[in-house]
Chains A and B, each alone.
Chain A
């Protein structure tokens, strides 16, 4: 009796199926994908009275007609996966439509248990469901549940185990009858089927006959394989024709009618309505939230609130993550001796993966907000209100959330944006949304804009940013339109959007939702992203400068040092290079604190350090009052020495960068990018920007010999670019547009691959966005140059 049981959990979308699944399995869940498709597969294990129960959550579907991936998956699992019992979660406040799926499951000849869920809601509406009677009429056991309060879950498992253990016998209970004419034709098809070879699976021939009459293409193929062309399908054709002539509508509609007729009869006999509430609370809420004028205003406020919650709310946590990786960076730098290994670990692995993991809190917050929208039922209303606008561009009302999160308000992120398209059921609209989302102004593009705006459009920051937001939205909508009338053209799935009643979500449900989606992202960061980070690091490191060239730079530094040491005011304090190093270390210690101890340790160094800080405008932080005039010439000499040395070091970095693979690509790309006047430095930055767009800024810094540029302090880079020959406002604006549009960062590409189920669309996204960026940038530059704008 201790054989483990497999339970398949079926149900309509919005039936509370997920809540029941969570109540059954708790946190012992595993999320994966169904083989070959991108539909989420959730599994979990629980034990009940010592029995191990394996629960497989089927995709939420309204039917099993093989019209969508979801339906095919659900049906094939029931047909071939051999669940011992199927638990169908039924929203008791929406009984008739929910029973449609139940009836189809029963027709398949599998053991079905109905979980009459949300019984509190239907009770509250004054409906009395005589479930004993309903069970008798349908011929399946029924358990009432309230998933939110986890009521009825134990009984549900009791009954499921009982059913699973019941010996399979020919089903003799009530079944759907389709009326004389249809039944006659079903009989004929069944006869032909039974004349063929015996089936190896347990699919009842009656069900097969019904599905064939309905015109199920999948099963037609299956029958053709099994029986060859021996007249089954011909009979089906004849029957379909006959039924449609008699019925006045096609055979599949006749079958649907028959099922709904059967359901209506059962419901009529088992449900009594105590009172008729004219208006439910949910409808009252809806009257406000989808009001002609108020609705859109409230929606904008809510969308803005999500944006704030995601990007501002997660701010402190993102800060902790960044601080952690900064700390790790420091530890690794100290622990590993300077050289290639250190560079690989610090610049490649820690900075690469850290940059990506820094997004984790942000993504978790975004998913939490999305879970609230979904679980309350508000998401359907957003789609309802915006569908008209998005439809005209070939998108779907539900696309809006993904676009907002991706940077519809400047500062989003395409990674959670692309993931948020999961709420879209129509494949073509979903794909179009995924492909255009990266064109929006994500947070990583903002530092690039900031540098260039500060350099070339000072004073116009707000209007330029607003303009960029409009440009990106315009391109998103136009691109979507173009995609939907070319590559993703053709008829789209019918728009049938259920508007579920508003519900209060459970914290447990929200957290599970958030956790499982966030975890998928983290797993990705650990694999694909690590690999790409290392490749990009290698591209920007190798080949290193030839020894001769490197030595020339070192020689210049040596010369500089020795001439510094020869100066008379210097000689009193610094005798050799070792003394300079000692002073640098002393300064580092000084900035860590405890100035008093250090003062006694080395009063001369202390004086020099004070003189140096006194020279800076923010000198009040340094140990004040100890500057005597004597050290000033030394301080001046030291400052000039430091500046010259840094300049040489940065020059060396620039030369090294130009020598690497990325640098050579940058030089080679000068030809390609000549229409928009990008030089090799810009091109390297763009190559690096594929890792993450903010890298464009730091790479530009290295390329322009400024050392690593801190994202918060970009003033020096702005100034440098403004004074650089070859840079003008037009070049800057062209570069902004190019950065906005060109290839999504590699994390986004990895997520697109995951969400679209293959490299095809991920590569397409990289290629088409880069082509679009190129065309737009080239056009803008040549138009601007011709008109003499901004040059």
Chain B
């Protein structure tokens, strides 16, 4: 997308996310945060997994279930996808997918290295 600046993309993405947030009956509240907004090193617990049936099912089978602890390991060199640690194993999700996972406030602040 060469015609859009990075900032425009970010704003566009926010808006899209917000629209989805409104549509969802039990969308995010001020207590929750999207997994895609977690930064490297942060960890927290899953409050809810959103999205269509198929992808929610798949996520839950891979261990992304309510109450499960998830930690951000690192982002790919081009910032997407992002690698997570869940149930003791490593898995990567695209950001659009991680945006469907609502988390509580992260337990720890981001590590500063890297």
Pairwise interchain contact B65-A385, C-beta atoms closer than 8 A: no
Task: Closest B residue to A256 by CB, please name it.
Answer: B60
Q: Are A496 and B57 in contact (CB under 8 A)?
A: no
Residues in B with CB closer than 8 Å to A47 are none
Q: Which of B49, B53, B59, B83 contacts A384, CB < 8 Å?
A: B83
Name 12 extra pairs, CB < 8 A, besides A253-B49, A256-B57, A497-B93: A65-B57, A93-B88, A253-B57, A253-B65, A290-B74, A493-B58, A494-B59, A495-B97, A496-B93, A497-B81, A499-B83, A499-B91
User: Is A260 a contact of B76 with CB atoms below 8 Å?
Assistant: no
- For chain A, residues 262 to 302, give those with C-beta under 8 angstroms from any C-beta of chain B: 290-293, 295-296
| Among listed A244-252, A362-370, A442-450, interface-contacting one | A244-252
Q: Do B76 and A252 touch across chains, with their CB atoms under 8 A apart?
A: no
Tell me which residues across on chain B come within 8 A of A63, comparing CB atoms.
61
Q: In whole angstroms, how far apart are the Cα atoms of A779 and B84 in the complex?
A: 48
Asked if B80 CB lies within 8 Å of chain A CBs, one says yes
- Chain B nearest CB from A168 CB (Å) reads 29
Cβ-neighbour of A67 out of B57, B81, B88, B93 (below 8 A) = B57
CB <8 Å contact, B65 and A256? yes
A385:B56 contact, CB within 8 angstroms: no
A658 to B79, CA, bound (A): 58
Q: Is A544 an interface residue (CB 8 A)?
A: no
Question: Using an 8 Å CB-CB cutoff, how does the interface string of A81-105 with B read, 1 for contact, 0 for none?
Answer: 0000000000001111100100000
Closest to B1 in A: A392
CA distance A96 to B65 in the complex (A): 12
Identify which of residues 65-108 in chain B touch chain A, using a CB-to-CB cut-off of 8 Å. 65-66, 68, 74, 76-81, 83, 87-94, 97
Interface contact B56-A250, CB-CB below 8 Å? yes
Taken together as a complex, chains A and B put the C-alpha atoms of A253 and B57 apart, in Å, by 7
Rounded to whole Å, the gap between the CB of B113 and the closest CB of chain A is 11
Interfacial chain B residues near A292, Cβ < 8 Å: 77, 114
Residues in chain B near residue A256, CB distance under 8 A = 57, 60-61, 65
What CA separation (Å) do A535 and B61 show in the bound complex? 51
Q: Are B78 and A388 touching (Cβ within 8 A)?
A: yes
Does A757 sit at the interface, judged by CB under 8 A? no
Judge whether B11 is part of the interface by a CB distance below 8 angstroms: no
Cross-chain contact B87 with A253 (CB below 8 angstroms): no
Q: Are B94 and A495 in contact (CB under 8 A)?
A: yes
Number of A-B contacts (CB under 8 A): 116
A sample of 7 cross-chain residue pairs with beta-carbon separation below 8 angstroms, ordered by A number, consists of: A94-B88, A94-B89, A249-B66, A384-B83, A493-B54, A494-B97, A495-B97
How far does the alpha carbon of A500 sit from the alpha carbon of B54 in the complex, in Å?
A: 23
Contact A498 B91 (CB under 8 A): yes
Residue B55 at the chain A interface, CB threshold 8 Å: yes
Q: Is B63 an interface residue (CB 8 A)?
A: yes
Interface residues on B, range: 35 or more
B-side residues, CB < 8 A to A, are 1, 26, 48-49, 51-63, 65-66, 68, 74, 76-81, 83, 87-94, 97, 114
Q: Using Cβ atoms and an 8 Å threshold, which residues of chain B touch A260?
A: 63, 65, 68
Name the residue of chain A whose CB is nearest to the CB of B51: A494
User: Is A569 an interface residue, CB under 8 A from the partner?
Assistant: no
- In the complex, how many angstroms separate the beta carbon of A249 from the nearest chain B beta carbon? 7
Chain B residue at minimum C-beta to C-beta distance from A100: B61
Contacting pair A96 B63 (CB below 8 A): yes
Q: What residues of B have a CB within 8 angstroms of the CB of A293 in the complex?
A: 77
Q: Which residue of the partner chain A has the closest CB to B96?
A: A495
B29 to chain A, nearest CB (A): 13
Q: Do B81 and A62 have beta carbons less than 8 Å apart? A: no
Q: How many residues of A contact B (CB 8 A)?
A: 43
Residues of A within 8 A of B91 (CB): 496-499
| CB <8 Å contact, B89 and A385 | no
Whether the pair A499, B80 counts as a contact (CB closer than 8 A) is no
Partner of A296, one of B1, B61, B77: B77
Cα distance A496–B58 in the bound complex, in angstroms: 8
- Given contacts A62-B61, A498-B90, is CB(A388)–CB(B76) below 8 Å? yes
- The residue in chain A whose Cβ has the minimal distance to the Cβ of B48 is A249
Evaluate contact between B63 and A67: CB separation under 8 angstroms: no
How close is A263's CB to chain B, nearest CB, in angstroms? Answer: 9
Q: Give Cα distance in the complex from A95 to B88, angstroms.
A: 9
B62 touches A62 (CB 8 A): yes
Asked whether A218 is an interface residue with its Cβ less than 8 Å from the other chain, the reply is no
Set of chain A residues within 8 Å of B1, measured between Cβ atoms: 392
Residues of B within 8 A of A392 (CB): 1
Chain A nearest CB from B89 CB (Å) reads 4
Interface membership of A215, Cβ < 8 A: yes
Asked if A526 is at the interface of the complex by the 8 Å CB criterion, the answer is no
Q: Please, which residues of chain B bring their CB within 8 A of the CB of A253?
A: 49, 56-57, 60, 65-66
Partner of B62, one of A97, A397, A493: A97
Given contact pairs A67-B54, A249-B48, A260-B65, A496 touches B77 in the complex (Cβ within 8 A): no
CA distance A397 to B78 in the complex (A): 12
* C-alpha gap A683/B25 in the complex (Å): 63
Residue from the list B48, B53, B81, B97 in contact with A252, Cβ < 8 A: B53
Beta-carbon contact of A388 and B83 below 8 Å:
no
| A96, B91: Cα distance in complex, Å | 14
